[in-house]
A and B are shown apart, each in its own frame.
Chain A
Amino acid sequence: MLLLGLMLLLLPAAGADLSGSAAPHRGPVHAAPSAPPLLLLPQPGPQYGAPGVALARSAAEESAGTGKAEREAAEHHHHDGGYRVVQWEWSYVQTPYIIAIWLLVASVAKILFHFSQRFTTVVPESCMLILLGLVLGGVVLIASKKQLYQLDPSLFFLFLLPTIVGDAGYFMPARLFFDNLGAILTYAVVGTLWNAFCTGFCLYAAKLLGIIDERVQADLMDFLLFGALISAVDPVAVLAVFEEVHVNEMLFIIVFGESLLNDAVTVVLYKVYISFVEAGAENVQTADYFKGVASFLIVSIGGTLVGLVFAVILGFITRFTKKVRIIEPLFVFLLVYLAYLTAELFSLSAILSMTFCGIGANKYVEANISQKSRTTVKYTMKTLASIAETIIFIFLGISAVDKSKWAWDTGLVSCTLVFIFVFRAVGVVGQTWVLNRFRLVPLDKIDQVVMSYGGLRGAVAFALVVLLDGERVKAKDYFVATTIVVVFFTVMFQGLTIKPLVKWLKVPRSTNRKPTINEEIHERAFDHILTAVEDIAGLQGYHHWRDKWEQFDKNYLSKLLLRKSVYRKSELWEAYQKINIRDAISVIDQ
């Protein structure tokens, strides 16, 4: 059934490509309609100057130019003038049409996957999407002898990634996040630096030892650059895989939080090493290293501040949206997205900005906006994020098939795979040993195994490697191939095996149960109890500061950002209401 579905999917795609390329518009048609336009590709033409996918797509846009177009065009030449009842407006609707078709293909693929229950419980969706991408890419390649579609970095960074990160940041469980912030920051910063440097240095050593072939023209700086971009845990991949596995929340938040916060490290390392590579290894001065460190602080703190500023703006605006309920969701999307873009504008860490904007604003926005707006925001964000994820994985598959963009070196690929795995495991164990001295809930061996295994690389690494300048980084093609293999390996192999691994290790799973009223009551009771005990014992511990923050929030922030009518209600009351509504809805839904 699944195969049938796949074939049905491919048929129009194949057919479209096969019918290939008639004349771009209703221009002069020379070819007789019967001539197989299979091998005839018009030059995509500079008229579609928009980079990336648009350019590539325009080449295949002729996909819709079937023989009918030719006939019609031919007819036009016969009957010139006169009123045309029906017209072929392909060039007019071209770009949005192609985009919509791709989205449709991606969504229908998701439906088809879920037809086979057995399959979906074993194989994660991301795997299947990549496979589908591979197949589609192969088809396009065979059909037109040239790769038409690619995962374009600017498309990825400007549209696809923010959708996913925005959704994740906005719905991040803030309490859990901040409770584990120490661990998350450690893994994100120290862990990523450790991975990056070790991988880079060891790859260089491997080159010197001759394991990596001479063809790979890269020296220490290039390898460090490559190490930087391949060592970051990827939020998209982590989300996609962990979503299916349902490990307990603490474990998930640590891995996922790490994947978000390491963006600052990756951005800085990437930029720093690119400038080092461009300047040449000899011209690097010590001052540049210090600049790198300073840059990291600026990028991360700056990004966070930008996000928080937008969070305050968002909270403040939603305070006054009572009369314009209909556009409330729009404010949420716009401001969260603007947080991302503004950080990009100043080349700060955009992911950090968007994450903290979401976390910061969530509490106030959810209180201020109407129930309907809440639902709209939630489902729109989730839908968009889901589609973006699907597109990313399909395009990862497609991009892999384009052989002209990569070059294979076994030594490099195998070394990279081994190194990232080994260094991740070592890094996790080392950091956990240190962290456990400070944590209330220690991370045991099983947690560490899951964390090492869950350090997935994904589309971010791929986009970064494609962005490299082939002139400066001579070994770019080898790096691209290695990145593709690494990403595929982690998403597919590790994605496939993590579920059985989690089951075998008996990792505590998330119950996904909504809290009962009693648990809500006790949740709040504990905060106060623990604060009281800390005060009695004279300790200024975590709860003491949390309580101080709550006081500050209550006396200043909430007054500023919350609607007057909401401000007076208590959280417990809100929680109680939510539970009631939820129960009522669930009764109706059944």
Chain B
Amino acid sequence: MGTLQSSPAPTEYCDLSEKTGFSFEQIAVLHKRFKQLSHDEDVLRRDHFSEIPDLASNPIRAEIIEAFFDQRNFSKNGKGKVEEIGFEEFLVVMSHFRPPSQHMTNEQRENVRKEKLRFLFNMHDTDNDGTITLEEYRHVVEELLSRSGALEKETAKSIADAAMLEVASISVGHMEPNEFYEGITFDHFLKLLAGFEIDSKMSIRFLNMDTITLCK
């Protein structure tokens, strides 16, 4: 099963494993990485993330880093942002990207889907007000296009506008000309990406897939 690190004790791993669904081996590897990123401290800060070289060229790195410090991703009722995170929070955020296991009921699968979409929603909704406004969406599109450079704000604006129009037509249906669409709520967001296979699209392989918990 691989060698466990000296600290933390296996009991802690047990709790973490239950909470996040990762296996012991996966937790061990991620813990090692956590220590590497934080230079052996117990907490991670934003500047630790900016030291990752590959991340520098990623257009959405700002949002992703923010997502790690967003309390909404730690627990259901969290709000606001923190300055530093411990290993548990790190693991919880990572667990959003775990692929669904093969033996899941439909309901569990639905829950996993909702969680992943919730994570995504939180990423876009930077001001924490529960809706993604046009401004926020424009920001997302701009970041995405920023990698190709040489594109003006106008382009990003028109793409984002078209996208919002689409959302409006999908969720609200036909709108009167002078009606104003405030922003995408979570329900609209769910509907929007209903056809998207998010379980497979938002998953990465965390090495060993067997999540056998050997506690108790």
Contact = CB atoms under 8 A, between A and B. Distances in A.
Interface of A: 436-437, 440-442, 444, 511, 513, 516-519, 521-526, 528-539, 541-544, 547, 551, 568-573, 576, 579-580
Given A526-B201, A570-B151, A572-B159, A535 B54 contact: yes
Contact of A568 (B60, B148, B192): B148
Interface in B87-123: 94, 97, 99, 102, 120, 123
A528 B148 contact: no
B204 A539 contact: yes
B49 A536 contact: yes
A539 B205 contact: yes
Given A440-B205, A533-B97, A518 B163 contact: yes
A573 B97 contact: no
A524 B144 contact: yes
Given A517-B163, A519-B196, 4 more contacts: A528-B59, A528-B144, A541-B204, A551-B57
A542 B205 contact: yes
Given A568-B148, A572-B159, A528 B205 contact: no
B97 to A, nearest CB: 5
B90 to A, nearest CB: 9
7 contacts: A436-B102, A522-B120, A532-B55, A532-B58, A537-B206, A539-B205, A569-B148
A551 B149 CA distance: 14
Interface residues of B, number: 52
Interface of B: 30, 33, 36-37, 49, 52, 54-55, 57-61, 64, 68, 94, 97, 99, 102, 120, 123, 140-141, 144-145, 147-151, 155, 158-159, 162-163, 166-167, 170, 192-193, 195-196, 199-207, 209
Which 10 residue pairs are nearest across A and B when measured between Cβ atoms? A570-B148, A535-B54, A538-B33, A532-B64, A441-B200, A528-B60, A517-B163, A568-B150, A576-B159, A535-B55
B202 A526 contact: yes
Chain A interface main SS type: helix
Contacts of B68: 536
B193 A519 contact: yes
A495 B205 CA distance: 37
Contacts of A547: 54
Contacts of A530: 97, 202, 204
B162 A525 contact: no
A531 B205 CA distance: 12
A524 B61 CA distance: 14
A538 B202 CA distance: 17
A528 B58 contact: yes
B162 A517 contact: yes
A13 B23 CA distance: 71
Contacts of B199: 441
Contacts of A537: 30, 33, 94, 204, 206
B204 A572 contact: no
A572 B201 contact: no
Given A528-B60, A541-B205, A516 B166 contact: yes
Given A525-B144, A535-B58, A572-B145, A440 B203 contact: yes
A532 B57 CA distance: 10
B140 to A, nearest CB: 7
Contacts of A444: 102
A528 B146 CA distance: 12
